[in-house]
Amino acid sequence: MKRTSKQIRKHLLEALKDGREHSYSDLERKLNTNWKSIRDHCEDLLLFGAITVSRENKVKIAKYGLEILKKL
């Protein structure tokens, strides 16, 4: 069964909730989806301020992202 965008974003935030920085490839393996999908969902979450992306393309959850995760 195909996962929806909402489900992928929820799993993405759950994978990031440990507070460490993760690379796109690390998230790709954890979520079992392709790199482009991870990048696109990260761009969407970045617009809302839920995550931060460093210059080295390392993704980290922001305080607002933790609040969103609690509500889901």
**CB 45, CB 11: distance < 8 Å:** no
Q: Give every CB contact of residue 60 below 8 A, 6+ residues apart in sequence.
A: 16, 19, 20, 21, 22, 51, 52, 53, 54
Give whole-number Cα distances, 21 to 15, 56, 70, in Å: 10, 10, 20
CATH number of residue 11's parent domain: 1.10.10.10
pTM over 0.85: yes
What average pLDDT does the segment 44-72 reach? Answer: 94
Q: Please give the residue range of the domain that contains residue 40.
A: 5-71
Q: Is the pLDDT of residue 1 over 90?
A: no
Nearest residue to 15 (alpha-carbon basis) of 55, 50, 56: 50
Q: How confident is the model at residue 39 (pLDDT cuts 50, 70, 90)?
A: very high
> What is the number of residues in the chain?
72
Q: How confident is the model at residue 72 (pLDDT cuts 50, 70, 90)?
A: confident
Count structural domains, the chain: 1
Q: Is the pLDDT of residue 47 over 90?
A: yes
